[in-house]
Chain A
Amino acid sequence: MGEALVELNPARQAEVARALRAFLPARSVLWEVEDTRPYECDGLTAYRQLPMIVALPETEDQVQRILRTCSALGVPVVPRGAGTGLSGGALPPGDGVLLSMAKFMRVVRLDPLARIAVVQPGVRNAAISDVAAAFGLYYAPDPSSQIACSIGGNVAENSGGVHCLKYGLTVHNVLKVRGFTIDGDPVSFGAEGLDAPGYDLLALAIGSEGLLAVSTEITVKLLPRPQVARVVMASFNDVEKAGDAVAAIIAAGIIPAGLEMMDKPATRAVEEFVHAGYDLEAAAILLCESDGTAGEVEDEIARMRAVLAKAGATRTTVSRDEAERLRFWSGRKAAFPAVGRISPDYYCMDGTIPRKKLGEVLRFIAAMEKKYGLRCPNVFHAGDGNLHPLILFDANDADQLQRTEAFAAEVLEKCVAVGGTITGEHGVGVEKINQMCVQFREPELETFHAVKRAFDPKGLLNPGKAVPTLSRCAEFGRMHLHGGRLPHAELPRF
């Protein structure tokens, strides 16, 4: 169980449930343990907390009234999309309301000429592209969890995917977000045009991890689907050579549609699981995708192959058709579940580094594997420097847990030390909140809290997530300096 465990206050529960039942049907207010249990965690399953109440609104009016009620009663509210988040951003409040947006599943409007879709936050990421496909359009950001994760969650986390270098993150592909503040006041950030007057509140809201507002309707940009996409798979006998090859591709003026790296332990785990056709002898493989018109792709693939060969690729294979392209990608997209098969538990990191530091960071991770006696396959969004090292461990072994935790903390701090960040796309949530104290100093954290107060003065929306309190950081700093380990090391986290 995570450290956020809060004891249930039955009187408070009854009071809040009664207030919500005044305008919500019975099916929309859950408080019996057997009903609330499925909501006790998100994709970060090691942190668990039973919510005091789960609310499942079906209309914007209900969302507004829930927020007004909670705000008036001083009840914390945690919004939740599909619950696939990997940082505990939707960890429920033990003394509050988990606001599930799961029933907001409608594509409200799709305008093929304007190339926009207006969707409710519970719509799955991949479902948008499915609906848009009839018009030759798609929604570009494609997190690996895209068949399950919701667009509302993507907005909260500013989710990425494997095609971000060329097509951007959620923040580059959302035009407008409509929703409510914690007080139930309707707000709208952005516009159906390309900008809105005043501050860019849309940019601020995207990636705010549900701390600033609750979204109820999202307008996304749709792009024309490229005529053709092909991927080159390149093998390298050395991980750093593969990293240099990535720099060489960029230096050649190529922006690949996707550029991913996996090391040997990762490809081996994946190959057994999905038979993607990876080169199992290579120390690392690169997947380098080109998209565009047929002629454009043919030219670019030829240039990519030449650069990769010159950079020391021992083998390059180009996908012959769409089925093979999808098969090459299937391994990358299935990397997490594949690793899940070879180890009782795994812990996924999400640091981003300047690409030129790849060799240094990978050597560091290898040293940490020895130091902590734990294996760590690496998958890597090579194009944009976002690393996903996966530490393999057994959560039933308390010692392994502690080692995993310390291993992860050292790697994230290394990412900061080389000029990177502790989280590229999964969010801080509860999981990386201590490392926020490493990445930011007191004045920046104070500013974040001040930003939060501008939207939510009482601090009721998703409290305790994303931005640590200064006292927490002071405590963390002390423990960190003296013990060389994270605080509360006795608490299982993963």
Chain B
Amino acid sequence: MSAGDNAAELQERVRAAAAARTALRPRGGGSKDFYGNDPRGEVIDTRRHAGIVSYEPTELVVTVRCGTPLAELEGELARQGQMLAFEPPRFAPQATLGGCVAAGLSGPRRAAAGAVRDFVLGARMLDGAGRDLVFGGQVMKNVAGYDVSRLLAGSLGTLGVILEVSLKVLPCPVAERTLRLDMDEPRALEAMNRWGGQPLPISATAWAAGVLSVRLSGAETAVNAAATRIGGEALDPAQSAAFWGDLREQADAFFAGDAPLWRLSLPSVAPMLVLPGRQLIEWGGALRWWKSDAPLGEMRAAAEKMGGHATLFRGGDRAGGVFHPLPPLLAKLHRGLKAAFDPAGILSPGRMYSEF
């Protein structure tokens, strides 16, 4: 896909759809078509609006058009020894930056480094009327106006067509090591939380089937010292990269099989959940994946009881909506925001919640 500025054509398309009240669904590589409620509307393909607009490693900021493949962007950053610290999953090689921000999904490093929204500095977007809007900027600190660009992260294309995003980038860690420890779930939960309160360079954790994996990232001396303290068995670098890569892309064996995949986002200290199925824990205890046939009501109730929320991430019976229902007042605020950005309701209707 050749890089280029296709904003004018995209704008024309949104304007026409707004005039005709035709639903549109912004789509990049389509790597996350499975995510969210069933997409409605004609596809508006963002892939021809592509390319890195500006990247200066010493500014720690990159500005990228929405159709740019994530692989291309991360490749360019890696050549400069930098990275997207939130480790976004791609789920398919053609995944784009626009889709990454719209989906708002972050990978294994999230608990240590932050989520997509934490790294969004600015955005250019088309609203539901096709107006070309710019929010935020290319600088780390910016409090002029409401933080609309961070709001776009995870908005699933319902507020606008993301044209361009400026992201904060970080240097890749000098050293990285993965440790494996045999631990049952309660002990693993306790350990992850306890370590979180200590100055250790833990960049990712994952627990499944009695094994806790801990990734350390940082200066060589800090990684060595932490490895001694935590103990366990070290993986070789290739195994380590493959393990976290597979986890990030949900290519790990845990994710195989037809059972619905649930994503439970909970306080990290929430105790062990007893639910039917298999579980994988990430983010120091704050993210709990379940491969489970349990009914929607049971999963939501389990998450809610712990002060969290449940998402039907892949598969399963999606008739009841895949996202956790909002309390009435928040639902009202969502409708109000949707109306502010897309008064005609033409952008990705129903993808997040059926009512908008």
Contacts and interface: CB of A to CB of B under 8 A. Distances in A.
Given A193-B266, A193-B268, A384 B218 contact: no
A292 B222 contact: yes
18 contacts: A113-B190, A158-B147, A172-B118, A193-B286, A194-B110, A200-B150, A200-B155, A224-B196, A250-B58, A352-B140, A356-B56, A421-B137, A441-B134, A444-B133, A444-B135, A448-B146, A451-B148, A454-B333
Contact of B307 (A136, A191, A194, A225): A191
A234 B266 CA distance: 45
Contacts of A112: 197
A454 B118 contact: no
Contacts of B115: 194-195
Nearest to B286: A194
Nearest to A295: B221
Interface in A379-419: 381, 383-386, 419
Interface string A326-355: 000000000000000000000000001111
B194 A113 contact: yes
A192 to B, nearest CB: 4
A443 B59 CA distance: 29
B316 interface: no
Nearest to B149: A203
A196 B339 CA distance: 21
Contacts of A43: none
A172 to B, nearest CB: 5
Contact of A194 (B111, B197, B329): B111
A225 B60 CA distance: 25
B170 A171 contact: no
Nearest to B58: A247
A210 to B, nearest CB: 12
Nearest to B63: A419
A203 B337 contact: no
A164 interface: yes
A359 interface: no
A386 B147 contact: no
Given A224-B197, A253-B174, A207 B143 contact: yes
Nearest to A420: B139
Given A447-B127, A447-B148, A196 B139 contact: no
B305 to A, nearest CB: 13
Contacts of A227: 199
B144 interface: yes
Contacts of A441: 134
B323 A197 contact: yes
By Cβ-Cβ distance, the 10 closest A-B pairs, closest first, are: A454-B336, A295-B221, A450-B340, A424-B141, A203-B150, A384-B140, A253-B171, A247-B58, A192-B267, A296-B222
B30 interface: no
Interface of A: 111-115, 135-137, 157-158, 160, 164-165, 168-169, 171-172, 181, 185-188, 191-201, 203-204, 206-208, 212, 222, 224-227, 247-248, 250-251, 253-255, 292-293, 295-296, 298-300, 352-356, 381, 383-386, 419-428, 432, 436, 439-441, 443-444, 447-448, 450-451, 453-455, 466-467
B140 A451 contact: no
Interface string B250-270: 000000000000000111110
Contact of B139 (A206, A354, A443): A354
Contacts of A193: 265-268, 286, 307-309
Interface in B77-125: 81, 104, 110-111, 114-115, 117-118
A201 B336 CA distance: 12
Contacts of B60: 250
Interface string B191-226: 001101111110000000000000000111110110
Contacts of A208: 146-147
A450 B170 CA distance: 34
Nearest to B288: A193
A436 B145 contact: yes
B35 interface: no
Contacts of A422: 144
Contacts of A466: 145
A355 B137 contact: no
Contacts of A135: 197
Given A194-B115, A254-B171, A187 B222 contact: no
Contact of A113 (B131, B193, B309): B193
Contact of A204 (B137, B146, B225): B146
A318 to B, nearest CB: 17
B107 to A, nearest CB: 12
A199 B332 CA distance: 12
Nearest to A111: B269
A452 B172 CA distance: 39
A115 B197 contact: yes
A421 B170 contact: no
A157 B151 CA distance: 17
A421 B149 CA distance: 14
A196 B225 contact: no
Contacts of A247: 58-59
B222 A250 contact: no
Contacts of B197: 112-113, 115, 135-137, 222, 224
A443 B133 contact: yes
B61 interface: yes
Nearest to A157: B143
A447 B59 contact: no
Interface in B26-65: 56-61
B146 A198 contact: no
A191 B308 contact: yes
B25 interface: no
Given A114-B267, A165-B140, 6 more contacts: A255-B171, A354-B59, A354-B61, A354-B138, A384-B139, A385-B139
B296 interface: no
B342 to A, nearest CB: 10
A187 to B, nearest CB: 6
Contacts of B353: 198
Contacts of B326: 197-198
Contacts of B110: 194
B219 A204 contact: no
